[in-house]
Structure 1
Amino acid sequence: MVINLQKSLLTLILLSIIGNSVFSQENKLKRANEQYDKYQYIDAQKTYLQIIKKGYKDADILKNLGNSYYFNSQFEEAKKWYKELLESYSSEVEPEYYFRYAQTLKSAKEYEEADVYMQKFTELTSNDERVKLFQNEPDYLKRIDFQSGRYEIENSSINSSFSDFGTAFFGRFVVFASSRDTLIFSKNIHQWNNESFLDLYRAEYNPVNGELAEIEKFSNTLNTKFHESTPVFTKDGKTVYFTRNNYTERRFGKDKKGTNKLKIYRSYKNTQGDWTTPQSLSFNSDEYSTAHPALSIDEKTLYFTSDMPGGKGQSDLYEISINTDGSFGEPQNLGSRINTEGKETFPFISDDNDLYFSSNGHNGLGGLDVYVTRLSPQTKEEKLVVNVGKPVNSPKDDFAFIVDVASKRGYFSSNRENGVGSDDIYSFLQLEDLKSFCEITIAGVVTDKDTNEILSGAKVSVYDSSNNLIKSIVVGEDGTYSQIVKCGSKYFVRAEKEEYVTSEKLVNTPEETQTLDTPLMLEKKIKSADIGDDLAKILSLKTIYFDFDGDYIREDAAIELAKVIEVMNQYPEMKIEVRSHTDSHGDDNYNLDLSERRAKSTVAYMIKNGIAEDRLVGKGFGETQPVNDCSNGSNCKKEEYQLNRRSEFIIIK
């Protein structure tokens, strides 16, 4: 009885421990989910990791943990948890996670593996702009390389160990956002990324070399204890639009879930040279974010980023008209040419009316990449969205691109490796204009002409019309090659391989971006032949034609027969049987007689040109040995019937 009581007591204690443990984990999970829903990603990460350390794990936990890193651009950690999610819970995973995992692989420069998961994403999702872009640009890395090298970049001397980004031209100054001083006077920490809040700063701008100096706070009127960033100024310097947390007249606004969003504010220069109290714009909302304003050249249109309802992705680019009285029209989404189901953000309009923006939905190197497109395209090619290439773009986040068209100098921001802070400002000099919007990709496979075997190790060279070498490559095991060239031009594509005859093709490129399939077939210098082989195939003879109802050897046929005669002269022991075939048109007996006459005519021609009679046999088969199903009564195409009208030169000794 005592023993049973002890056992019962022990069981109760164990159940109590287990129950408390389960209850504790449920509370932690609830807290983690609440933190995640409020974008408190750093706190959510800590709580989720505690839960996992205790052995509790499911698809939702891995999704949220991966996302908390992904949305903070902590791609290496996100990759780890997305990988486990896809390997352990693939049946419970939405297609979006294949895309996000592919993005994290790109951030680690694992592009081949990233493409594998992008392919899985395309198989699971049909009506998605990112799928269409990936399918339409399978060689996107080559296209990025094509545009690369046009910029000379340098990490700006003004960067701090904190976050610095989002530059804007303002007279002789550049204004930017930084969290460098905010922790000195305040302990406000943004729970999204555990960093201090941003203020606006200005630095003197040298347009000759792009250097920035003499940093100071921009305006106490515009700066608050929360985020201010990404300003844009009118040309007269009297109006500024900028991004701030939803904080107006000391009221901290929140949405229905208790989350503070971003808003765009406007302020004017007053007569004392300071700025008026910023006012929230009419199209802002407590329920969604608006951010990163940009102005059109005529300053009558404002461009911005938003996750407002009705958009395509995580954030889209919008435009809205600015009325003469300062009021606004209705926001208009820039549409699927620019916006994807991913993130489009940080618009900038250059003085030549190009739209620069950042995106992780268009094909890129990883994270956010910078893209450019014509704002008002006049042609199909100008509608293209083009990755500006390396070194502006990297496997990490690259964003907030601005350029002074006159000096070719500008700035962008990035969290790439070997920077000074979490985000850094980079200055650049543009060395070359964007290469033609029209791009042609010449691509194909190198194969053996006779066997169709892929010829790995073959050398493919592309030359321009002046015979200047553009590029040479040695193809891999798949035998494929590709090269991006200009539209409306002439190129020579040459393939070479030891023991093969060099082959060259002339390629005239059209005036419209596309991929030209240009297979290259090489013929062996020395070929083997056995009894039963057809010299017509070995020598790749063109079809030997006769005039209608005739058996006379035409001039074009004589050229092909000369090749057979030459081989027989080189090999005096060789004997062949000339076989003539017709298609199924006409009377069977007539076709048999016609083919017999043509075979004998061919033999007679070869004897006349020096081949001994005892080395040749001629025979007609009429329509009895077709190479396809185009027989009497069939309804084949002209080209299919033509395949059966042929001459064979079968080796019999």
Structure 2
Amino acid sequence: MKELLSRTHKITVGLLAIGLWAGVSQFGYAQEQPSRQQRAAQFYYNMEYANAAKAYELIVNKDNPELEPMERLASSYLYINQYALAESWYARVVQHENANEQSFLDYARVLQLQGKYSEAKAAYANYQSKYGHKAEISRAITGTDSASFWMENPSKHVIANEQEINTSLAEFGLIPTSGGVLYAAEPNSLLAEKSGMTGQPYLKIYSATRNDDGSLSYPNVMPDAFNDSKFHLGPLITDSEEEVLYVTRTYPGKQVEKYRANGQRWRKQNLELKIYRKQGNDWIEEDFIYNNVKEYSVGHAALSADENTLYFASDMPGGKGGVDIWFCTKQADGSWGTPVNAGNNINTDGDEVFPSVFDNILYFSSTGHVGMGGLDIFQAKGQKGNFEKPLNMGYPVNSPSDDFAFVVVGDNLDENFGYLSSNRQGGIGSDDIYSFRYPKPKITVTLEGITKDKKTGEPLSFTSISLSDKDGKLVTTGSSNDKGIFSFEIARNTAYLVLADKAGYMADSVAVPGVIPQQDTTIHVVLNLQPVNKVGEKFVLENIYYDFDKHNIRPDAAIILDKLVTTLRNNPTLRIELSSHTDSRGSDSYNMKLSDRRAKSAVDYIVSKGIAADRLVAKGYGESRLVNKCANGVKCTEEEHQQNRRTEVEVLAF
């Protein structure tokens, strides 16, 4: 069964989407001219499926074609993503009493790949009735049910085909750069050498302009040395400085993987990961240390945010299934450590490919987790080998076809945006690049508060409320109601200063830090206003402190004095005494002089804000009015001494 699903995956995705497979047989037909059947078989065994399809079309073009050519024609169509044609031939094949097991499975798969979920579910059930219940088939059936649910309950992602760069050929695997984007594409050139598997030119690396709205335009093939190879090139990634490239390519040399199958000798051109470092105007090529093209493929690189972890896809030994996601950790000398499998939460007995990382989320595509059809895109929080259970991103990020190369370009409070690749129906070519935007749900932050009389604790009605930003700029104003309650809707991630003011009271304020909530949030504040409408009323200006042996106004004290300035402006008949008090350290006479200087500093500050000097009296009391035990000779903490260094207000007239 594992072999069946592995083969199905290669049929479903093909070289263009995964880029992990290429093969060439080494057999011939002596000196005689091969027959039409032999020529078609040679194309098929060489994995030249585009050529094989053309050859078998001629062979089956008769009233009663034989079973094997029909099976191979259907299989070839499936390899090159001609799903409708593949379905037509598989529908005929499975009616034959000698149809093989793979054909029944492929028929169900091709139905699922076209979004024909009820028919696919029935075809999978038919397969199980013939060949028994298998976990992989049960998972596929679950996928048909899940796909229907996801399509009926789509996410809020908005998907758009990037028509300015997509062609009738393949484009996929986009990454953002400072100057635009890079991606892999089949050149639209009659002179380009073509792949026998797809019938299209070998992939090259392209660049394009990324416009302010995220749309793409002006595609161009890259002229650099890293874009020169015999076979497929791409996808690729770059480091944040754009000084290092990690390029996936089909190995072009002769040191290939060799094996025997179907009585013949074969060789497979595996993938390798090439590293290019910028030196002046040149790119210097080097091998990824864990390439081993004689035994397995390595490709689809991705870097963590700190660039200390390199993720990649490989079918190297020790994996969980076909192609797994692995990672290497950067060592102290800058080299990459031994590859480690990303673990059971990520990897399955299917294939996991095209990793990308944004913040602490790994995005990847898989055929082994429950999905809609071909490759589905998943996300998993975590890092290295420690990931949470992956989440299928649902429709429309995923489709019945292959969806892969998901990359997040930006994320802000309002939306998440980026690109993905897909061969879904309705596209322009075989694989197309799509942009996506995910508008985040509107999250409301509400500031609710109550104004109170500080002396009695009773609600204070109809109190003026103002909100200012961190720079002191007024944002909005309002008023508490008859019960002292007020409410504002405020912006996320924005700090405010809330000021409450009422005639006959000293203003009170509170700082509200910016918050980035994940759901609707209400912030509660209480503003206590000190009454100043009665002669003889005394109160401490809380949180006005002085450094030891100093009389200058500290920044934290200035904020409190500003409230008093507001109160004096709003109560033009108010006249007050500001008294300053010291701690017990130092001589009594010195402290009396120090407190007098402190009181005068406070008054001078208020006068500098435009308040008439004749409304203010400065008075220093030294250490004569301590508020705690810290008299001369008593050992106290600095905090206890600080409490005695204070400023008080007494109402002289109102």
TM-score bin (small chain): 0.5 to 0.7
Conserved? CA contact 2:313–2:326, under 8 Å: yes
Q: Identity rate of aligned residues, in percent? A: 33
TM alignment of 1:394-543, pairs within 5 A? 394-407=399-412, 408-432=416-440
TM alignment of 1:594-613, pairs within 5 A? none
TM-superposed CA distance for 1:412, in Å, is: 0.9
Determine the C-alpha separation between the residues in 1 that align with 2:342 and 2:100. Answer: 30
Match of 2:580 in 1: none
TM alignment of 1:147-166, pairs within 5 A? 148-156=154-162, 157-166=164-173
Residue 122 of structure 2 corresponds to residue 116 of structure 1: yes
Deviations 1:593-613 (A, max 9, x none): xxxxxxxxxxxxxxxxxxxxx
Determine the C-alpha separation between the residues in 2 that align with 1:317 and 1:63. Answer: 33
Match of 2:610 in 1: none
TM-superposed CA distance for 1:41, in Å, is: 0.8
Residue 230 of structure 2 corresponds to residue 223 of structure 1: no
TM-superposed CA distance for 1:405, in Å, is: 4.1
Match of 1:48 in 2: 56
Match of 2:13 in 1: none
CA 1:334–1:66 in structure 2 vs 1: closer, same or farther (change >3 Å)? farther
Deviations 1:91-121 (A, max 9, x none): x523x54443222112332111111222344
TM-superposed CA distance for 1:358, in Å, is: 2.1
Residue 214 of structure 2 corresponds to residue 236 of structure 1: no
Residue 297 of structure 2 corresponds to residue 289 of structure 1: yes
Conserved? CA contact 1:129–1:341, under 8 Å: no
In the superposition, the TM-score normalised over structure 2's length comes to 0.55
Determine the C-alpha separation between the residues in 1 that align with 2:319 and 2:135. Answer: 13
Match of 1:367 in 2: 374
Conserved? CA contact 1:151–1:432, under 8 Å: no
What is the letter of the counterpart of residue 388 of structure 1?
M
The match for 2:273 among 261, 264, 269 is 264
Match of 1:571 in 2: none
CA 1:147–1:369 in structure 2 vs 1: closer, same or farther (change >3 Å)? farther
Determine the C-alpha separation between the residues in 2 that align with 1:426 and 1:115. Answer: 29
Larger deviation, residues 335-344 vs 193-202? 335-344
What is the letter of the counterpart of residue 244 of structure 1?
R
Residue 189 of structure 2 corresponds to residue 187 of structure 1: no
Determine the C-alpha separation between the residues in 2 that align with 1:323 and 1:148. Answer: 43
What is the letter of the counterpart of residue 234 of structure 1?
D
Determine the C-alpha separation between the residues in 1 that align with 2:394 and 2:81. Answer: 20
Residue 100 of structure 2 corresponds to residue 93 of structure 1: yes
TM-superposed CA distance for 1:161, in Å, is: 3.5
Compute the RMSD of aligned alpha carbons: 3.4
TM alignment of 1:201-216, pairs within 5 A? 201-206=206-211, 208-216=212-220
TM-superposed CA distance for 1:237, in Å, is: 1.8
What is the letter of the counterpart of residue 358 of structure 1?
S
TM alignment of 1:609-624, pairs within 5 A? none
What is the letter of the counterpart of residue 107 of structure 2?
Y
Match of 1:549 in 2: none
TM-superposed CA distance for 1:258, in Å, is: 3.5
TM alignment of 1:297-336, pairs within 5 A? 297-309=305-317, 311=319, 313-336=321-344
Determine the C-alpha separation between the residues in 2 that align with 1:411 and 1:391. Answer: 13
CA 1:309–1:118 in structure 2 vs 1: closer, same or farther (change >3 Å)? farther
TM alignment of 1:567-578, pairs within 5 A? none
Conserved? CA contact 1:73–1:367, under 8 Å: no
Match of 1:338 in 2: 346
CA 1:146–1:198 in structure 2 vs 1: closer, same or farther (change >3 Å)? same
Determine the C-alpha separation between the residues in 2 that align with 1:59 and 1:166. Answer: 38
Deviations 1:273-320 (A, max 9, x none): 432135354333134332221122332332222344555555333333
Match of 1:255 in 2: 257
CA 1:410–1:70 in structure 2 vs 1: closer, same or farther (change >3 Å)? same
Determine the C-alpha separation between the residues in 2 that align with 1:100 and 1:145. Answer: 23
CA 1:55–1:32 in structure 2 vs 1: closer, same or farther (change >3 Å)? farther
Match of 2:398 in 1: 393
CA 1:307–1:281 in structure 2 vs 1: closer, same or farther (change >3 Å)? same
Deviations 1:168-222 (A, max 9, x none): 12223211112235x26x330111111112211222334x521224433334211
The match for 1:175 among 159, 164, 182 is 182
TM-superposed CA distance for 1:424, in Å, is: 1.6
CA 1:302–1:137 in structure 2 vs 1: closer, same or farther (change >3 Å)? same
Conserved? CA contact 1:413–1:423, under 8 Å: yes
TM-superposed CA distance for 1:406, in Å, is: 2.4
Determine the C-alpha separation between the residues in 2 that align with 1:259 and 1:50. Answer: 28
Determine the C-alpha separation between the residues in 2 that align with 1:161 and 1:315. Answer: 28
Residue 72 of structure 2 corresponds to residue 67 of structure 1: no
Residue 82 of structure 2 corresponds to residue 82 of structure 1: no
Determine the C-alpha separation between the residues in 1 that align with 2:103 and 2:344. Answer: 21
What is the letter of the counterpart of residue 217 of structure 1?
V
Match of 1:141 in 2: 147
What is the letter of the counterpart of residue 431 of structure 1?
P
Conserved? CA contact 1:246–1:286, under 8 Å: no
Determine the C-alpha separation between the residues in 2 that align with 1:119 and 1:165. Answer: 34
Secondary structure of 1:430's counterpart equals strand
TM-superposed CA distance for 1:359, in Å, is: 2.8
Larger deviation, residues 139-148 vs 158-167? 139-148
Conserved? CA contact 1:291–1:305, under 8 Å: yes
What is the letter of the counterpart of residue 305 of structure 1?
A
CA 1:65–1:214 in structure 2 vs 1: closer, same or farther (change >3 Å)? closer
Secondary structure of 2:227's counterpart equals coil
Secondary structure of 2:181's counterpart equals strand
Secondary structure of 1:88's counterpart equals coil
Determine the C-alpha separation between the residues in 2 that align with 1:84 and 1:136. Answer: 26
Deviations 1:546-579 (A, max 9, x none): xxxxxxxxxxxxxxxxxxxxxxxxxxxxxxxxxx
CA 1:194–1:115 in structure 2 vs 1: closer, same or farther (change >3 Å)? same
Conserved? CA contact 1:265–1:281, under 8 Å: no
Conserved? CA contact 1:59–1:93, under 8 Å: no
CA 1:275–1:158 in structure 2 vs 1: closer, same or farther (change >3 Å)? same
Determine the C-alpha separation between the residues in 1 that align with 2:145 and 2:174. Answer: 32
TM-superposed CA distance for 1:268, in Å, is: 0.9
TM alignment of 1:553-564, pairs within 5 A? none
Determine the C-alpha separation between the residues in 1 that align with 2:135 and 2:307. Answer: 30
TM-superposed CA distance for 1:39, in Å, is: 1.6
Question: What count of residue pairs does the alignment treat as equivalent?
Answer: 399
Conserved? CA contact 1:130–1:362, under 8 Å: no
Match of 2:42 in 1: 34
TM alignment of 1:570-649, pairs within 5 A? none
Larger deviation, residues 35-44 vs 253-262? 253-262
Determine the C-alpha separation between the residues in 2 that align with 1:103 and 1:261. Answer: 26
Secondary structure of 1:305's counterpart equals strand
CA 1:89–1:235 in structure 2 vs 1: closer, same or farther (change >3 Å)? farther
CA 1:189–1:377 in structure 2 vs 1: closer, same or farther (change >3 Å)? closer
